[in-house]
Structures are given as structure tokens and as C-alpha cells.
Amino acid sequence: MSSISGILAAIATPFDGDENLVEVALRAHVRRQLDAGIHGIFALGTNGEFYAQSADERAEAARIVIDEVAGAVPVVIGAGAATTRETIAIAADAAAAGADALSIITPYFAAASQVEIENHFRAVADSVDVPVIVYNIPARTGNVVAPATLEKLAAVDNITAVKDSSGNFDTILQYLERTDRETFDVISGNDSLILWTLLAGGAGGISGIANIYPQTMASIYDLFVAGDTDAARTAQDSIRPIRNCLALGNPNTVVKAAANERGFGLGPARAPFNALSDEAKKQVAATVAADVERGLA
């Protein structure tokens, strides 16, 4: 697979009250996305709480997702870690499990120079035979993939895309300017920028909100491709209320709470990222109820 396009659901990982993975809920959530017309599954990213799971837990979840999708759509597995050594090990496992592509987050916690970031991605790409997606999310990692660095990485044969979750549209535009859209995909990791990324020449989006409204998210791309930009914008604008709720707590906790309001059974986020206030829970519940009333699905 050399190209990623459309809306990929950045699926949450369901846990029970004791923080154990719930396989039946994970399979059901994958099936829910497929039934809604989502164009790909992105597992074990930020929404998938990769940072809260051991390598063995991540490997188990990856295999469940890949098995459930069974080739229906592309599966991207988040395989990043803080060090190059650990990332290569996780990437090898995900590739062996049958991932169509790997999302590799920048190193995190410790500051990394652009040379170190470039070296990291090159080493990981050299270690696997599947496409690698560069994942830029500086607010969470403290490290940014500069446009000039991405331009160099895009020349590596199996580094085929970037997921930008910086929230800075100018970064997406610079990525587009420095890469060849025929051979390299620029993907929005910010739900609110998906349509604008498509209009600028990007390939699609990786969506956390798809955990709550997969059909609505998939429709942004479908309507855009069909040439109905006005309807695509209506769908894009429709998620603003739930996006505004992400400020109420840890965004992953908010997404799970909202999905659970829809009866999706994703359980809690792992501690300590699970202490949503009662007032926040009420606001999320009210927002979801209003969204469903407006037709979001």
C-alpha cells in the first residue's frame, strides 16, 4: 500500500473497570467503523492510548484489529516509542502482524534535534518493509518535524505519508509544498482541519471523533470526492460542539465518555487520565444528545 486516503478512524482501545483490554468491545468497535463506511482503521495512536500500554498489550490489540478488519480497509498501527531501539522492535511486531502501514510518532519527553528526528525515522523505515507514516504532534511530544526535515524524509522509499496533529494549518501547507502529492500523502490528524486539508491537496484525515460519529466523519471525504463541497463543509462544521468538549479534560477521556454515551462500550481511559468531572460528563452527555438529535451518526 503506497497511499493513504479518506478518513481513517483513530480508534480507542476499550478497557474494563480494571483497565484490562476487552477484546469483544474492540472487535465490535472496529466493526462499527467498517459498517459506517470509514476508509481505514488507525489503531494504537493517541486515541488508542498507546502510551498507557505495554509492548505486549499493544501487540495483542494490533492483532485483534488486523484480524477483525480482515483486509476490508487499510489498517495503520501506531508503533512509536521514545527511543529508536524500542520503536524498531514494536514496528517489527506490527509489520509481522500484517499492518498495512505503521504510524511512527516523533521521539518524546527528551528534546530531539532535527538531525536526531531524521535519523530516528530513517532507522525505523530501514528496519521494516511496510510504509511508514510520520506522526507530528508537538503539543504531546515536545518535538516537531520541521517542513525541511519532512522533505528529506519523504525521499525515503517507504516513508509515504505524514499525519500532522499540530493544529497549525500552515504546517500542513508547508508539508504539501515540500512533498509530491503523487507519491506522498499529507493527512490531517486534527478533526477540525480535515476538509481544509483536502481542499489544499491533502489526502484525508485520521479522526478521533470517528469513535463517536464515524458516519459523519466518513461523509466529509465522500462528499468532497463527490464534488459537494457545501455538504462536506456542513458535515465538517457539525462536529464543532463535540470538538469544543475536548477542552473539558484529557481528550481521550472525553472521546471515550462521548462514545459511551452512544452506547459503544469503550470503558474508561487508563489512570490517571480518567478523572472527568461530573460537570464535564453532563456537558458531554448533553452535547452528544443534541448532536444525535441533529442527525450526527
Catalytic residues: 135, 163
Q: Is 64 annotated as a binding residue?
A: no
Identify the helix (H) or strand (E) that includes residue 43. strand 40-43
Say which residues have a Cβ less than 8 Å from residue 232's Cβ, sequence separation at least 6.
Answer: 195, 198, 219, 220, 221, 223, 224
CA distance 182 to 15: 39
The alpha carbon torsion through 98, 103, 104, 105 (nearest 10 deg) reads -150
Collapsing DSSP states into helix, strand and coil, what is residue 209? helix
Distance between CA atoms of 216 and 207, rounded to whole angstroms?
Answer: 11
Closest CA to 15 of 209, 260, 214, 283: 260
111, with CB counted inside 10 A (0-12, 13-18, 19+), is exposed
E strands along 59-165, which residues? 75-78, 101-105, 132-136, 159-164
The residues facing 11 across adjacent strands are 43
Angle between helical axes of 229-238 and 214-225 (0-180°, round to 10): 160
Q: Scanning the structure block, which residue is given the C-alpha cell 525521499? A: 155
Residue ranges of the annotated binding site are 206
Residue ranges of the annotated binding site for pyruvate are 206
